A and B are shown apart, each in its own frame.
Chain A
Amino acid sequence: MTSPNRPRSFQDIILRLQNYWAAQGCAVLQPYDMEVGAGTFHPATTLRALGGRSWAAAYVQPSRRPTDGRYGENPNRLQHYYQYQVIIKPSPANLQDLYLGSLRAIGLDPMIHDVRFVEDDWESPTLGAWGLGWEVWCDGMEVSQFTYFQQVGGHDCRPVSGELTYGLERLAMYVLGVEHVMDMPFNDPDAPIPLTYGDVFRQTEREYSRWNFEVADTDTLFQHFKDAEAECARILAADPVDTAGRTIPMAHPAYDQAIKASHIFNLLDARGVISVTERQAYIGRVRALAKACADLFVTTDAAQA
């Protein structure tokens, strides 16, 4: 299994993906500077999947799922983790081949592994989005999600974007042969100061798990949710013409508030204060925000072909 081509660390895998997708012509973006549940929430995916303008981007997105926190003890589960996201519009005819090339780039040779595309349709109720595609299996393990977006924010995607999402920790653990995420080398194990994933994140996983599950003030969070919802509506309702007479609709600032509401909902969910019936209602409220933002975005210049 050892070959000079094999990556040696978590960051090596990220760098290889960055280089690979840059070489395929993607704009390599940086993470969005807000708390999100998945790379899809980055406006570079959600909003840019809308409208007729061509687009190609790749980026790492730190993602937070408060309910998945396990105080850093579970070998696979984290409340904060990284996704690698690629979005190309219109989806190119050779997207599957491009994707397989990225696996080769990180040392997964499809001639020695068993790579399979297994039906898995994607849906995000909070984003009013869905698509068809697969989860990609490598030797029986899901290593990526591969989706052709059909709708986002309630709008048909024309043209269709192809979206690839890699769960970086899980993928890297598999490539590097590590059993526990905290044992995974973050930088090169032969570096003067070798660091594991645990060196970087064990402390934060513990702290955030406690805060997410036990300490986060639910009254404050409920209030934040309402504030974000109200601010989103206010931005969307604002006159598109500013004081200087320029037409500037504000889809992105409004969408930030939708993201914020979504993350606060996730926190409240982790605190266990949202009942089964309320859950649907909250998801519906976030979706309404996302849809309204999408409605505005498609009218802006960035959405035009």
Chain B
Amino acid sequence: MPDLLIELFSEEIPARMQARAREDLKKLVTDGLVNAGLTYASAGAFSTPRRLTLAVEGLTASSPTTREERKGPRTDAPEAALEGFLRSTGLTRDQLEARDDKKGQVWFATITRPGRPASEIVAEVLDSTIRTFPWPKSMRWGAGSLRWVRPLHSIICLLTDEAGATVVPLTVEGIAAGNTTRGHRFLSPDAFTVTGFDDYAAKLRRAHVILDSAEREAAIRQGAENLAFARGWQIVPDDALLSEVAGLVEWPVPLMGVIADRFLDLPPEVLQTSMKEHQKFFSARNPKTGRIEGFVTVANIETADDGATILAGNQRVLAARLSDAAFFWQNDLREAKSGMQAWAEGLKSVTFHNKLGSQADRITRIAALAREIAPLVGADAGQAEQAARLAKLDLRSAMVGEFPELQGTMGRYYALAAGEAEAVADAARDHYSPLGPSDDVPTAPVSVAVALADKIDTLTGFWAIDEKPTGSKDPYALRRAALGVIRLIVQNSQRIKLRNILWNGLARNMQARSLVAEEPVINALSVLEEHLPEWTRYDDESFLKALSQSAVTEGRTFLLRLRAYQNDLLSFLHDRLKVYLRDQGIRHDIIDAVLAQPGNDDLVLVVSRATALNAMLQTEDGRNLTQGLKRAGNILAQAEEKDGVEYSFGADVKFAETDEERALFAALDTAEPAIRQAIAAEDFPAAMTAIAALRAPIDAFFEAVQVNTDNQIVRRNRLNLLHRIRAAGQQIADFTKVEG
């Protein structure tokens, strides 16, 4: 069982691409080997800035011989048919065998494919792996046409077994595979030969290269922590930076430096970001002061002066960078203290989207929306509006211009400098949240109001210009915005009628962009101002009725369009809610059953209904009850269709013939008011308990009673009784949508 060693030695591979490249190399090569009939015991991929390496253990020495039998033409078929068959099988006539078949004598061919040695297969697989490697960006170099992430210099392709190591013969665009590589660029530049993976890894280590990135990460982490410990400091953990730095060095040498006193007043986020983004330094915090006072840089070399020159150089570069940052900070603070008017002015010339106006336009809309949302989430309307007006001003600050990732963070500092309340400043920092699905959700009322307004303006804006996400395309991250809205509302248990908010956001965005002629829109909206709250709460039919009765005629098209967008956007939010709840173990059909109920724009209500229903359906009672409700519904629907009437009233216990029937009457008499009260109190678990009590009586009823009897009075009475069951269910959910 030979082992395989592959090394692709190149100029420096971007750190961010290495992890993926290791996976791709392993997958492409091992898949290729397996598809060609080889098997292997294990495989591991490695990377340094200059090499991509794969070690495969326990490879089979050759692929197995395969036999395939193929049926050909009849022996009396025309000559041309036989010749075609011989061509396709690559055999001669005397190698064929005539056998009896249902339709007479037929030629049969047995094609034998001999096994192939591993080296032949490896050469083919590696050649195609190199030529088709899925680098995010690749390039040509010199006069060649091969593409690789950076110029490829040499290839090791070595099969090793008990008898020794053999180079797999392979040449890719003039680069012949061999058994040589090089160590560290400066510390051990000479070429050396290797005989297998263990020899390779050991010789690399002697040549100042740690092959395994995980080992380099561990060495960096340990080294940095030791340096910090010696000063009584702590390293600020940053896994992304650690993995990047490990991809930039073959021989990591952490060095610790001190930040000059004159920079220690900069906000810690600024120090950390500047050091990380520009210098790839780790930050070191002094727990006694809580400040970031030092850094660790990771060199790629051990020097005669123990890194003194390197550290001095890094310290100088950092001082220049932090001088810039301090300059930005002082200038920004001056602007903040004077009210940030210049920044507000500047945002007028920054385009948000060519159909949605400038950032300043957008801020005006968000501020209005934040004001409307504020009372719904327990925030002060004035503070919410003010926070929305300030929240994006830092985009014009010099600091955010330099470090875009500090948006919001700086906004908070500048708002405080401008003398704003803590709640307003916090909202400036937090209004972008949550960005990712695992981000923290703001909880402070003013922050929630502005964060919601920000996202709802984005959604309604892009809906108003018909830029909705399609398939995998979501260039404006609208799904993320929708999830943000959902999490802000649900995780904070905020009772909000979304229809109203969506309506207002859409109206503002559509009006602002003059998507219809201006005059009728203003007329329509001004008339609507008074009716808006009621209208938007109604279903489509009531909306249209109100519309036709109103004085609004000119803006009718506009309003209908607005209404359509509102419905569409709400169902988009419902779709995202399904995804969100599915991740929490609630099936989509349960959510569908709940969404059919009134008040479905109140997401907290939807979630508590769905949660309660989901819990009930986990029980046997719940599942059987669902069956009973569906059965009642079906029988009733069939009868109603047949008779052309609706059975909805008048069930009377005096026409009941059996005990089971009477028991069901009694159970409904108890359950109905209980359900009603529970729903009114929004106590959905109680509603579920109340309806679950119907399970036994319903089962017993269907067991004992034939609904469609010949006695029409009894039949009608029973159908009306079924209606009571259906109506009880409908108070809770649309059970016809529940699967199973």
| In the assembled complex, A148 has its CB within 8 A of some CB on chain B | yes
Which of B16, B137, B300, B318 interacts with A132 by CB under 8 Å? B137
B297 touches A110 (CB 8 A): no
Which of A28-36, A89-97, A263-271, A294-302 interfaces with chain B?
Answer: A89-97
A150 touches B140 (CB 8 A): yes
| In the assembled complex, B354 has its CB within 8 A of some CB on chain A | yes
Q: Nearest CB to that of B299 among chain A residues? A: A114
Which of A79-87, A137-145, A191-199, A228-236 interfaces with chain B?
Answer: A137-145
| In the assembled complex, A117 has its CB within 8 A of some CB on chain B | yes
A113 touches B142 (CB 8 A): no
A119 touches B313 (CB 8 A): no
| In the assembled complex, B317 has its CB within 8 A of some CB on chain A | yes
A92 touches B142 (CB 8 A): yes
In the assembled complex, the Cα of A222 lies from the Cα of B324 at a distance in Å of: 33
Which of B35-43, B301-309, B582-590, B623-631 interfaces with chain A?
Answer: B301-309
In the assembled complex, the Cα of A96 lies from the Cα of B150 at a distance in Å of: 12
B313 touches A138 (CB 8 A): yes
B140 touches A160 (CB 8 A): yes
A160 touches B142 (CB 8 A): yes
Show 25 residue pairs from A and B whose CB-CB distance is below 8 angstroms, ordered by the A residue: A76-B320, A90-B143, A91-B151, A92-B142, A93-B153, A110-B186, A111-B186, A112-B305, A112-B310, A113-B309, A113-B310, A114-B310, A115-B186, A116-B300, A119-B16, A132-B137, A139-B313, A139-B316, A140-B314, A140-B317, A148-B140, A160-B141, A160-B143, A276-B350, A277-B351
In the assembled complex, the Cα of A96 lies from the Cα of B14 at a distance in Å of: 16
| In the assembled complex, B82 has its CB within 8 A of some CB on chain A | no
Within the complex, the shortest CB–CB distance from B740 to chain A, in Å, comes to 53
B309 touches A159 (CB 8 A): no
CB contacts (< 8 Å) of A157 on chain B: these are 140
B142 touches A131 (CB 8 A): no
Which of B149, B299, B351 interacts with A276 by CB under 8 Å? B351
A-B contact count (CB 8 A): 105
In the assembled complex, the Cα of A191 lies from the Cα of B185 at a distance in Å of: 39
CB contacts (< 8 Å) of B141 on chain A: these are 90-91, 148, 160, 162
Within the complex, the shortest CB–CB distance from A99 to chain B, in Å, comes to 11
Chain B residues with a Cβ closer than 8 Å to the other chain, count: 45
| In the assembled complex, B279 has its CB within 8 A of some CB on chain A | yes
| In the assembled complex, A118 has its CB within 8 A of some CB on chain B | yes
Within the complex, the shortest CB–CB distance from B712 to chain A, in Å, comes to 77
In the assembled complex, the Cα of A141 lies from the Cα of B320 at a distance in Å of: 10
B143 touches A159 (CB 8 A): yes
| In the assembled complex, B86 has its CB within 8 A of some CB on chain A | no
Which of B249, B299, B307, B313 interacts with A141 by CB under 8 Å? B313
Within the complex, the shortest CB–CB distance from B357 to chain A, in Å, comes to 12
Q: Nearest CB to that of B298 among chain A residues? A: A114
Contacts from A to B (Cβ < 8 Å): 1, 75-76, 90-93, 96, 110-119, 121, 131-134, 138-141, 148, 150, 157-160, 162, 174, 275-277
Within the complex, the shortest CB–CB distance from B550 to chain A, in Å, comes to 40
B309 touches A1 (CB 8 A): yes
Question: Which residues of B from 275 to 292 have beta carbons under 8 Å from A?
Answer: 279, 281
Known: A121-B137, A132-B139. A111 touches B303 (CB 8 A): yes
| In the assembled complex, B15 has its CB within 8 A of some CB on chain A | yes
CB contacts (< 8 Å) of B150 on chain A: these are 132-133, 148
Question: Which residues of B from 390 to 421 have beta carbons under 8 Å from A?
Answer: none
Which of A112, A113, A276 interacts with B349 by CB under 8 Å? A276
B317 touches A139 (CB 8 A): yes
In the assembled complex, the Cα of A138 lies from the Cα of B249 at a distance in Å of: 14
In the assembled complex, the Cα of A49 lies from the Cα of B320 at a distance in Å of: 35
Q: Nearest CB to that of A76 among chain B residues? A: B320
Which of A132, A159, A174, A275 interacts with B142 by CB under 8 Å? A159
In the assembled complex, the Cα of A139 lies from the Cα of B149 at a distance in Å of: 25
Known: A92-B142, A121-B137, A141-B313. A114 touches B351 (CB 8 A): no
A139 touches B310 (CB 8 A): yes
In the assembled complex, the Cα of A14 lies from the Cα of B305 at a distance in Å of: 28
